[in-house]
């Protein structure tokens, strides 16, 4: 039994994948705090799907070169994110409507372009990830994104929080609200690119939302959401990867399912905001009201 549990740690490709998973999970978990508080889940989903046409264009122009894939995904995601803001500001169409339309069109365009590629492309690797196939170049991309996004979020934590909750007050204190919003979107795009190899464009949203959503059921502190989300993202991602190895299941799906299972457990059993605690509080209040009513009845 012990040999079966320790077997994944003996393989170099699993050691590489676990390290990449921990770094991706921590970065996404930290950013998750701002995504949940700012209610940017739909934006994150749109960004994830918009990576595909950028990857397709990069494959058509440069083949499977990692640098080309990175910059193709980056440009496509930024175009969709900024295009959404532009449509919302210059027309009657609301932001959520423009998001839904743009990410559906972008995803469809990506599928069409990949079908035209002269290079054989394993589509499911882009859609659902292939963390076990991490190369040195992929790890360097993950390192670089993490070492840009994490210090940036830590340095701008206070103005970002003020912008999210009181944008008028933030503007009055000299905070450049629009610039910070664009910066948060840029961090989201970079984190999505780092998640691409782990879970793909379809499942990336789970890694970016589940950690902070889980911690949100236990704590109200932004610091707890930030650091707790990072730790939970790293631990949950590595645990999901191990489960996929032990049970011979798809790695990206297992990572998201483990994070989802942790969220479901928190939803049910959280002592403050869990469903079970809410039921017990209601029952306690009902019993108290009955006790107060009994003397009057006699």
- Residue 262 maps to a domain: yes
Mean pLDDT to the nearest integer, 137-150: 85
Q: Domain for residue 147, yes or no?
A: yes
- Inside any domain, residue 202: yes
Q: State how far the Cα of 132 lies from the Cα of 10, in Å rounded to an integer.
A: 14
Give residue for tokens 């299972």: 261
In DSSP notation, 108-123 reads: HHHHHHHHT-SS---H
Asked if residue 6 is part of any domain, the answer here is: no
d(CA 32, CA 225): 8
Tokens encoding 74: 């980056």
At 294 the pLDDT is 60
Asked whether residue 292 is domain-assigned, the answer is yes
Q: Which residues of 91-105 are buried (b: 16+ CB within 10 A; e: fewer)?
A: eeeeeeebbeebbee
Q: Per-residue pLDDT for 138 more than 80?
A: no
Q: Tokens 């950690």 belong to which residue? A: 211
Residue 30 sits in a domain of what CATH number?
Answer: 1.10.3470.10
pLDDT for 26 equals 93
Write down the pLDDT at residue 214.
93
Single out the residue of 72, 104, 100 nearest to residue 84, CA to CA: 100
Range of the domain at 283: 18-297
> What average pLDDT does the structure give for the chain?
81
Answer whether residue 105 is part of any domain. yes
The answer to whether position 189 is within a domain reads: yes
DSSP one-letter code for 272: T
Task: Kindly state whether residue 71 falls inside one of the protein's structural domains.
Answer: yes
pLDDT of 235 reads 94
Residue 150 CB partners (closer than 8 Å, separation 6+): 26, 27, 30
Number of domains in the chain: 1
């Amino acid at each position: 039994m012990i040999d079966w549990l320790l077997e994944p740690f003996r393989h170099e490709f699993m050691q590489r994948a676990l390290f990449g998973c921990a770094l991706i999970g921590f970065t996404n978990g930290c950013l998750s705090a701002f995504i949940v508080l700012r209610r940017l889940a739909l934006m994150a989903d749109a960004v994830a799907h918009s990576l595909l046409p950028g990857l397709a264009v990069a494959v058509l122009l440069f083949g499977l070169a990692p640098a080309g894939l990175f910059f193709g995904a980056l440009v496509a995601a930024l175009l969709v994110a900024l295009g959404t803001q532009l449509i919302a500001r210059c027309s009657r169409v609301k932001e959520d409507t423009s998001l839904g339309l743009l990410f559906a069109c972008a995803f469809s365009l990506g599928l069409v372009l990949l079908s035209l590629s002269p290079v054989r492309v394993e589509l499911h690797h882009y859609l659902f990830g292939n963390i076990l196939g991490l190369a040195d170049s992929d790890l360097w991309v993950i390192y670089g994104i993490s070492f840009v996004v994490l210090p940036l979020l830590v340095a701008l934590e206070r103005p970002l929080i003020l912008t999210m909750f009181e944008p008028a007050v933030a503007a009055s204190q000299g905070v450049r609200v629009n610039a910070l919003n664009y910066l948060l979107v840029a961090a989201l795009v970079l984190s999505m690119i780092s998640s691409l190899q782990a879970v793909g464009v379809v499942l990336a949203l789970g890694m970016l939302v589940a950690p902070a959503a889980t911690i949100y059921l236990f704590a109200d502190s932004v610091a707890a959401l930030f650091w707790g989300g990072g730790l939970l993202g790293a631990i949950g991602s590595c645990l999901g990867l191990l489960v996929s190895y032990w049970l011979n299941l798809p790695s990206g799906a297992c990572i998201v399912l483990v994070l989802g299972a942790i969220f479901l457990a928190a939803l049910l059993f959280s002592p403050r905001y869990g469903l079970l605690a809410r039921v017990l509080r209601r029952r306690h209040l009902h019993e108290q009201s009955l006790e107060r009513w009994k003397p009057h009845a006699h």
